[in-house]
Amino acid sequence: MPRRPAWTKVSKEDIAKDTTLVTCAFCKGRGIDPYGLSPLSNCVACGGRRTVLVREPYETCPVCEGTGLYFRSHLYCWTCHGKGVIHVKSKGVN
């Protein structure tokens, strides 16, 4: 029996319930890596899909302030992974 990480137990239906698609902040919805070697290379944050899945509730990433960019670099933000938004855990609930 192959062992699986815990997240594989979540069904697609469960994921769809509390997630939403937002425009990729890193490439600004263009789907290409804005700093890639090739203008045809896919955006590393959204994989070229131009949108990214984010769990609700979410808020603007406080680290990159929604730009999806790591501070003073051409890398994607490590906190939001280039999405520009981050999932917010419900306050007061463990």
**Closest separation in Å from C-beta 37 to Zn ion:** 16
**Closest separation in Å from C-beta 5 to Zn ion:** 24
**Closest separation in Å from C-beta 8 to Zn ion:** 25
Q: What are the CB-based long-range contacts (under 8 Å, 24+) for 11-20?
A: 15/53, 18/55, 18/56, 19/53, 19/54, 19/55, 19/56, 20/53, 20/54, 20/56, 20/58
Residues that bind Zn ion (CB under 5 A): 24, 26-27, 43, 45-46, 61, 63-64, 77, 79-80
Q: Which is nearer to Zn ion, 54 or 61 (CB)?
A: 61
